[in-house]
Each structure stands twice: as C-alpha cells, then as structure tokens.
Amino acid sequence: MPVVLALVLAALPVGRAGAQQTAPATGGVLLPSSGYGPVTEVTTSPQPTAASTAPGSAPATPGGAYTSPRPRAAGTPGATYETYSTQRYSPATTRPARIILPSGAILEPLPTATETTTPGAGAPAPSAPPEGDGATATGPGEGSSAEGIEGGVVERVRVSGNQRIERATVESYLLLREGDRFDPLRMDRSLKELFATGLFSDVEVRREGNELVVEVEENPVINRLVFEGNSKIEDDKLQEEIDLRPRVVYTRTKVQNAVRRISTLYQRSGRFAARVEPKIIRLDQNRVDLVFEIDEGEVTGIKKINFIGNTEFSDFRLKGVIATKETAWWRILSSNDTYDPDRLAFDRDALRRFYLNNGYADFSVISAVAELAPDKSGFFVTFTVEEGKQYTIGRVEVNSQIEEIDRDLIQNEILVQPGEIYDGEEVEKSVDEITDRVGELGYAFVDIRPRTLRDRENREVHVVFQIAEAPRVFIERINIVGNTRTLDRVIRREFRLVEGDAFNTAKLQRTETRIDNLGFFEEVELRNRPGSRPDLTVIEVEVKEQPTGEFSLGAGFSSGSGALGQIGIRERNFLGRGQDVRANFTISQRNSAIDVGFTEPYFLDRDVSAGFDLFLTQQDFDDESSFEQNSVGLTLRLAYNLSERIRHGLNYTLRRDDIEGTEIFLSPIIRRQEGERSTSSISHFISYDTRDSRQNTTRGWFATLSNTLAGLGGGERFIRSEIRGGYYYPFDQDWIGLIRASAGNVFGFGGRTVRITNRFFVGGDNLRGFEPAGIGPRDLLFDDALGGNQSFTGTLQLEFPTPVPDELGVKGRIFSDFGLLTEIDEIDPNIVDAGSLRASAGIGVSWDSPFGPISVDLGRAILKEDHDELETFRVSFGTRF
C-alpha cells in the first residue's frame, strides 16, 4: 500500500508559485515570494466503497495539491484524508472526481475558483466575501431572474443547515421578514451580512414560491491548536501573534492571516527561509484540530553592507554609525547581523543624525534596500545617500518672551558658537542646558525652540533660541508609584523639594540622583505634569523595584595562594525601610571571618546614618608573611551630610588582635610582634562626590580623606591617613574613561612602632597583575611580606561596549595599574625595600548576569622587582535575591 500511495502521489502535480517582488524606490526589501501551502484536511467520514462523482463533474484540474494519509491525532477507523486549496470554491457546485487508494483513503485534487458556477445558471459565481471559507454563495433558484424575484410577499422564512447557531441568530442578519415584499437588493445584502459574520463557509439565499429559503453551511470550531517543528520561538509567543484560539470559529482567511503573521515573526528574527504549513483534522460535531507545521530554516544574515554616494566619509566609518552589522563569527550573541526592517529605518535616522552633527544640513538618505540572495543565504543591504555641502554656524541669538530672564545668563549656556561646524546634537544639548537653567528660576513648562535659518549661498546656519512666555510654577503634589516594597517615606526623604516649593530643575535632578543612589530600584524616572492651575505642577516619581538582597561569592586564583572564596549575605533595604543588614562569612584555604553589620540611614528621622559592625576574623598570612592573625572587635559609625556633595563621618573601633607565627623558622621582625594587643581608635572621613550614579558611573569625580587616631586606651599608638579619589569621563556613549588614585601614610608615636596589622599592603585588587601583598618591603630570608608605612596606587582604565547585545550587560575594559609600597620601622639586613614604582596592564570583562555581577581580569606585570609575587588571573562573582 505505501508503494501504491507513493506512486499516486508522484503522479499528482504539486506546485507553489513564487515571483520576485520589487522594492519601492524609497527603500524596502527584495524578497522571493514565499506563497502559502494548501490546508490539509483530515475528516472522519465513513470510508466510501466506490468513487463518487457528481453528474457533470469536471476532471481534476492540473496543479492540484495532495498529501499522504498521515493522521495528526487519533481518529476513527477508515478516516478520509482530503486536501483543499486555499482558493475559494462553492460546495454547491460540482466537484472534481476523487481518487480512491487501495486502502479506501480518498485523495482529492484542488478545485480552481474560476471554474465554480452557480447551479443551473451557467455563469461564474460571484467571489465570496473575505470572511467566508472560500465558498461561493448562490443567488436565486434555478432559472430565476431579478424580475422573477420581485413581486409577492414573504409568507415564510425557512432556515436550514444550521447546527450550533440558532435560527433566530441567522434571521437577525436578514433584511427581509415575513410580510415584506421580495426585493433582490435586500436579498443580496442579507447574503453579504451573513458572510460578513465569519460563521459560515457557504450561504445560499433564494426564493421558492412565496418562501424565502436560507441555506447555510457553518464553519467548524477549532477544538485544539498545535504548533509543530518550532524550537527557536516558543508556543506562547506564536500564540500571542495570531488571532486563532480553541473554541473560535475556523475560517481559511484567519488561517492565511495566521500563516502570514507567523512568517513575519520568523523574518523579524532573521529566518527568512522559514515555512509554515497549516493542516486541519476534522472531528465530529463540526470541530477541527488545527496544526501549524513549521520549518524554521536557518538564520539569514547580512552578507554585505554597501554605501552609494558617500565621498566625505568612508564605508568603514558609516558602518560604525548604523546598528545593522555584517555577519561575523564574533557576533554569535548578537542579532544585529540579521535583517530587520525596523532596524533599517533606525539606521536611516542614525545616518541623518551623524551627517547633521558634522555640518551636512542638506544630507538625505535616498533609499535603503535589503536584497535577499536568490539562494536565501543572506541579504545585501545598500544605502544610497546624498551628502550635500558642509555648513558652519552663523548668528546665534536668544529671543525670550520672559522678561525676568537675563539673556546674557542664557547665552552662557549655549554650546554652539559662530564659525564652528554646525552640530545638530550640540544645538539640542544647548536647549537642554537652557531648559535646566530656566527651570532653576521656577519655570517648569517653558517652551524653548531652536529656529535654524539656512543660508545656502554662504553655507551658514543661523540659530535663534526662542523662549516662549510661561508662568513661574510651584509644586502642588508629589506622587510616587511603583514602590511595591519600599516605603514612601524612604523615597520622600531623598527629595530636595517639598509640596509648596518653587519648581527647580537642578533640585529635581539632584533628587533623581539621590533616589537612584539608594540602589533599591532598577529604574527611576521623575517627570512633572501640569497641576490644577497653570502655576502649579505635579511631580510624579515612577520606580521599578529591583532585588536588594545579595548573596555574594568571591573567588580568586594565584600561583602562590591557590583558590580562595568568600560568602556574603546582605539586605540593603530591610523590610522596605532602607536599613542595611549584612553578614559576611569568609571560608577559604587561608581565611575565615564573620562580619555582621547594621545601618540605619535616617537615625531618629534625621539625615544622619548610624550603625555598628561586629567582626571575628581568622586570617592566615602564611604565604605572604608566615603568621596568623585572629581579631575580634566592634565598630560604631555615624555619618551626615554637610551639603549636597559633602559628607562627613565618625567611627569608633575597639578591637583585639592576636598574632601567631605559623613557621618554626620565622622572620625575627614578625616574631617580635607575636601576642595579643588591643586597639582603641577614633577615625573620621570627609568626602566630596559629583558622580552621576554610584552604581553605573559615567561622569563626575569623587575624593575622600580619612584619618585614624589610635591611643585612646589599648596598647597601640599610631596615626593613619589615607586619601583616594577618582574621575570618570565619557568619551562617547558606553566608552567611559577612569582615573583613580590613592595614597596612604601611617606612623607610630609615644615610642611605639606600627604593627604589621596596621600597615598598608598593595597587590591583588588594587594592583592587578600582582598577588595580594605582592610588592613592598620583604624579608628575603623567609620570603615574608612585611607591609609598608607609605603606599600609593593608581589606575588608568577605559570601559567599552562589547559586540554582544546591550541587554546582556557585558562590558569590556583595558587597564593599567601602578603603585608602590615602602618604608618600615624595623631594620634588618634581610629586609629588601626597593621603593620603586610597579606597573601592570591587562584586559577584563564584567557581566551583569542573572546570577549577579561576574568580573574577570587578566593582568601582566610590566614594571616589577625580582622578589615580587605575580598573579595573572582574578575572578569574582555573586548573585542577588
């Protein structure tokens, strides 16, 4: 039987049209037409015993499509497999002969819509309305005409063929009722109304005597909807894209629309070779199971990007401007190398903005066309541009209708000057600067529009900043939305404005920065809208909560220390009150520690943070200095703001340190420091911070000075000072430069020397490429690091975007670290203290993964001493909850 089936199928012609489409001149895509395959139908009608051919039937039409009898779901024995075309035909007309296989299954060729006729009329039937299932409705009965229909009264309306749909529902769409006169126009409109419902695959309205006869064939109802063959796009996403659902009326038009939308969805993901074939399985009670068989195909990438008409900028430079990229092996995690019409439209705008920012005010993109290769292996994208001439800035003027505004003050905020190359982006930034400056004066809804007057003869652009009249505005109300966990008062206390204050843009921006610096929210957006009066405004704060609990893991590897790790638990927004609770547990081959802390950011409802730390640590410095340190202590903390940018803090620490040698042969310098000592110290810090964000800094600088005085009791006497700072500069979007430095000094007094636990150590995180405590004074005889009383470290770093999609949060960096560590109180012939500068360079990558931040650095020492300890690889990772 399979052999017979295969022979029959092979004899039947199967075709699918595909014509080349031409893109419009203004841009588009040249694609081979995919077409839509036939809808395979599986019915559960009884198995026929002989070929059933209606009288006068025509032979099978060439080009009919057939499918093999392969059921998709359990059906009744003797199921009949039929294939119908997506073209329209009338069930009321004669149909081509069926082919009966030896098994009894029936194969039916596709009928052509052009051959369907009205019974008895001998003329082509009118095309069916769009929502019908392709059936052609018949008009009046055999041999009747419009003249024969007119006249007489409708004595009865007879409805037949309806199964699920009530008779009253069918009659509600008719424009003729019992007692009305027969009217062919109203009969025709009734026919169209019934088809427009989408409930019927075929409708016939005719007159029999004085009866109005309405025969309908209901569309089936979808029992189940199944997607097969899809692995790149989930069922849920496909289901969202189409309008078909279980228990919805099935029509071929809806199926064709669904196929079209599914194909478009795959094309947007770069799979232009995807094929979608719908099939139905007929069930009892006029139900069907609908199956979409999907062949996803391969991703169709961008083979080549070409530019036509560019003379001032090279193809390579313009390729860096647009988002669409050519396919390359390193873009395996990016989708920018696949064709997307929306991205192509974005690229047109990106090119326009690029040329406009470089003075080409007449620039235009004539067309942007993506052509699919005949073998569908990739796209060729071509941008045709007209650059025009370069313009410079002519006159720059300010026209203000607000008399209180000093024009000279506004002039200082303008970033463009006469004689410079015209830059559209700088003009937009000038508008923002003027808006902020005017906003500081209380004008919240000021309208500032730059008018550009183009002088083509002199190639100049004159810019006039027009400031429209606006009232001074006061804050009516502050609304906070999105804080599902954080209490309102935690957010409101960060505001630099309250209800009733005059509107001030600078204070509003500072408020947004302070709320973002809390670290509780993934997104923070402040906007102002008109209030109940023209001189009032409502400030709306919309936040999106993010996980503030942290479960962190730290790991590292070096040739001398091996593996090490740290586990930390922290909640930075305890119970939504903004309180910080943490507990760190260090477990490694060398160290173990417990550190518990608590911070109340607004102690006694004042802008004063207070907290404490309890710690119990055991640190093994055997590899560096051949000793082990056990510490236990308590720290009390207090901090407050002196101004918006300046913060001051005070700490008191009481601790006890026990140093114990771990080697029989121990450096005499460390041997003299063995035993327990207590330290009672008070310290303070003062910091200045202009960074735009503490979490994702892109610009600004900070500086911190701290001093510690030990000697308020206990056995230690020393003064320790440290200063550190950093400067961030955005060279371009996502290209952030960083300069960071720190310096420290410690000395003893009262006849006491500085113990090893209170000295500085350099290496590891603050000097990549060297081990922790890898540089500085060292006892060469026992190879022990001794620390130093004076230290200096610095970093030059450039952070840049990676080829992976931005939403993955992967950033790269190149860095160079440098530093030195010198000076020690002890004198010994085995001590080496070069006091020279060390330096390293390397690369690194950071990934804000779903499990938490992951950072990897590879560093290599450039300036080093023979006795230094080196390290090439460091990694840290963590997760949040």
Cα–Cα distance between 31 and 344 in angstroms, integer? 15
Buried b / exposed e over 453-473, threshold 16 CB at 10 Å, is eeeeeebbbbbebebeebeeb
Token code pair at residue 516: 């973002």
Residue 853 C-alpha from the chain's centroid: 17
* Amino acid (one-letter) located at 760: F
Non-local CB neighbours of 667 within 8 Å, separated by 6+ positions: 625, 626, 779, 781, 782, 784, 786, 830
**119-154 pLDDT tens trace:** 333 333 333 444 444 433 344 444 344 445 667 898
At residue 765, the pLDDT reads 86
- The rounded radius of gyration (Å) of the Cα atoms in the chain is 40
Using the Cα atoms of residue 68, residue 72, residue 78 and residue 84 in order, give the sign of their dihedral. Answer: negative
868 SS3 class: coil
Q: Do the Cβ atoms of 324 and 342 come closer than 8 Å? A: no
Contacts of 415 (CB under 8 A, 6+ apart): 426, 427, 429, 430, 433
- This prediction has a pTM of 0.55
Contact criterion met (CB below 8 Å) for 761 and 751: no
C-alpha torsion angle, residues 400, 402, 406, 412 (rounded to 10): -50
Q: How far is CA 309 from CA 139, 303, 313, 384, in A?
A: 61, 20, 10, 6
Q: Which residues pair with 530 in a beta bridge?
A: 537
| 552-581 core/surface letters (b: 16 or more CB in 10 A; e: else) | bebebebeebeebebebebbbbbebebbbb
What's the half-sphere exposure (Cβ side, CA atoms, 13 Å) at 620?
Answer: 13
At 727 the pLDDT is 96
- Which run of H or E residues covers position 263? helix 252-268
CA dist., res. 133 & res. 221, Å (int):
12
pLDDT attached to residue 335: 76
What is the CB-side half-sphere exposure of residue 751 using CA atoms within 13 A?
A: 1
Helix axes 424-439, 505-517, angle to 10 degrees: 100
pLDDT digits (tens, 9 = 90+) for 361-402: 999 999 999 998 887 778 999 999 999 999 999 999 888 888
Query: And the tokens for 581?
Result: 């609770």
Q: Put residue 281 in one of left, alpha, beta given phi > 0 → left and psi -120 to 50 → alpha.
A: beta
At residue 877, what is the residue type?
F
Distance (Å, rounded) from C-alpha 114 to C-alpha 87? 9
H-helix or E-strand containing 112? none
Report yes or no: 220 and 163 within 8 Å, Cβ to Cβ.
Answer: no
- How far is it, in rounded angstroms, from Cα 33 to Cα 377? 15
Q: Is there a contact between 440 and 411 (Cβ–Cβ < 8 Å)?
A: no
Contact predicate 201/217, CB 8 Å: yes
Please choose, from the candidates 649, 788, 769, 812, the residue with its C-alpha nearest in 3D space to the C-alpha of residue 720: 788
- 3-state DSSP call for residue 642? coil
User: Alpha-carbon distance 538 to 492, whole Å?
Assistant: 14
Return averaged pLDDT per consecutive 10 residues of the chain, 881 residues in all: 36 36 43 46 41 34 32 36 31 36 40 35 38 40 48 88 87 89 89 87 89 90 90 88 87 89 85 87 88 87 92 92 87 78 90 93 92 85 94 90 79 87 90 85 82 90 88 89 90 88 85 88 89 90 87 53 64 88 73 84 88 86 72 94 91 90 72 86 95 84 96 90 96 90 94 89 91 88 87 96 78 95 87 92 88 83 92 71 43
Instruction: Give the three-state DSSP class for 749.
Output: coil
- Between CA 800 and CA 846 the distance in angstroms is 11
DSSP state of 330: G
Which position has the token pair 């113990």? Answer: 755
208: Cα separation from own chain's centroid: 65
Q: Is the dihedral of CA 350, 354, 359, 363 positive or negative?
A: negative
Distance separating alpha carbons of residues 280 and 83, to the nearest angstrom: 10
Q: What are the φ/ψ torsions at residue 181 (nearest 5 degrees)?
A: -80, 145
Nearest to 131 by CA among 63, 74, 61, 201: 201
Sheet containing 536-545: order of strands: 474-481, 536-545, 521-530
Write the DSSP string, 225-283.
Answer: EEEES-SSS-HHHHHHHSS--TTSB--HHHHHHHHHHHHHHHHHTT-TT-EEEEEEEEE
Residue in this structure with the two tokens 């600067």, named with its chain if needed: 433
Q: Rounded CA gap, 218 and 208, in Å?
A: 22
In whole angstroms, give the CA distance from residue 772 to residue 785: 10
Q: What is the pLDDT of residue 86?
A: 29
CB-side exposure of 5: number of CA atoms within 13 Å? Answer: 13
Mean pLDDT of the chain: 79
Cα separation, 69 vs 43, in Å, equals 11
